[in-house]
Amino acid sequence: MTEYASLLLDDPIWLVAVKALLIFVLCVLLTLLAIWGERRIVARMQLRVGPNRVGPFGLVQGLADGVKLALKEDLIPKAADKVIFIIAPIISASTCFLAFAVIPMTGKVLFFGEETVFQLTDLSVGVLYILAAASVGVYGIVLAGWSSGSTYPLLGGLRSSAQVISYEIAMGLSFVAVFMYAGSMSTSEIVDSQAQWWNVVVLFPSFVIYVISMIGETNRAPFDLAEAEGELVGGFHTEYSSLKFALFFLAEYVNIMAVSALATTLFLGGPAAPPGLSFTESWLGGWFTFIWFILKVALFFFLFVWLRGTLPRLRYDQFMKFGWKVLIPVNIAWILIVATLRLMTQEGASQFMLAGFIITVVVLVMLATTIYESSKAKAEAAARFVPEMPEPSFPVPELPKQKRVEL
Partner 1 sequence: MTGETVMFWVLAPLTVFAAVGMLLVKKAVHSAILLAFVMIALAIFYIAQDAPFLGIVQIVVYTGAVMMLFLFILMLVGVDSSDSLVETIKGLRGVAITTSLAFAAALTSLIARAEFGQEPLGLVSANANGNVEGIANLIFRQYVWAFEVISALLITAALGAMVLAHSPKSSEARLSQRARSVARFRGASIGTAAGLPGSGVFARHNAVDVPALLPDGKPSDLSISSVLAERGDVQETKRYALDGLPKLDEEDK
| Residues lying near partner 1 in the complex (CB under 8 A) | 79, 81, 84, 123-125, 128-129, 131-132, 135-136, 138-139, 142-143, 145-146, 149, 154, 157-158, 161-162, 165, 168, 185, 382-387, 389-390, 392-402
Closest to partner 1 by CB, 186 vs 199, is: 186
Alpha carbon dihedral 161, 166, 167, 172, in 10-degree steps, equals 120
Closest to partner 1 by CB, 49 vs 381, is: 381
What is the smallest separation between the CB atom of 111 and partner 1, expressed in angstroms?
23
Closest to partner 1 by CB, 83 vs 366, is: 83
**Whole-number Å distance between alpha carbons of 60 and 63:** 5
CA distances from 276 to 204, 272, 279, 328 (A): 20, 11, 8, 35
CA distances from 232 to 229, 352, 367 (A): 6, 57, 42
Q: Nearest-CA neighbor of 239 among 47, 79, 112, 70?
A: 79
What is the smallest separation between the CB atom of 129 and partner 1, expressed in angstroms?
5
What is the smallest separation between the CB atom of 155 and partner 1, expressed in angstroms?
10
**Whole-number Å distance between alpha carbons of 372 and 386:** 24
Residues 149/81, Cβ–Cβ less than 8 Å: yes
**Whole-number Å distance between alpha carbons of 100 and 97:** 6
What is the smallest separation between the CB atom of 216 and partner 1, expressed in angstroms?
16
What is the smallest separation between the CB atom of 399 and partner 1, expressed in angstroms?
8
Closest to partner 1 by CB, 35 vs 258, is: 258
What is the smallest separation between the CB atom of 128 and partner 1, expressed in angstroms?
5
What is the smallest separation between the CB atom of 121 and partner 1, expressed in angstroms?
11
Angle between helices 151-182 and 126-147 (to 10 degrees): 180
**Whole-number Å distance between alpha carbons of 242 and 73:** 6
Closest to partner 1 by CB, 118 vs 236, is: 236
Closest to partner 1 by CB, 155 vs 272, is: 155
Closest to partner 1 by CB, 53 vs 401, is: 401
DSSP state of 116: E
Closest to partner 1 by CB, 134 vs 200, is: 134
**Whole-number Å distance between alpha carbons of 178 and 272:** 17
Closest to partner 1 by CB, 184 vs 331, is: 184
**Whole-number Å distance between alpha carbons of 118 and 115:** 10
Residue type, 297: V
Residue type, 371: I
What is the smallest separation between the CB atom of 117 and partner 1, expressed in angstroms?
19
DSSP code string of 297-360: HHHHHHHHHHHHHHPPPPPHHHHHHIIIIIIHHHHHHHHHHHHHHHHHHHTT--HHHHHHHHHH
Q: Nearest-CA neighbor of 290 among 29, 106, 131?
A: 106
Closest to partner 1 by CB, 183 vs 274, is: 183
**Whole-number Å distance between alpha carbons of 39 and 33:** 10
What is the smallest separation between the CB atom of 73 and partner 1, expressed in angstroms?
24
What is the smallest separation between the CB atom of 397 and partner 1, expressed in angstroms?
4
H-run or E-run covering 108? strand 108-111
What is the smallest separation between the CB atom of 398 and partner 1, expressed in angstroms?
5
Closest to partner 1 by CB, 107 vs 126, is: 126
Using alpha carbons only, give the angle 182, 256, 204 rounded to the nearest 5 degrees.
Answer: 35
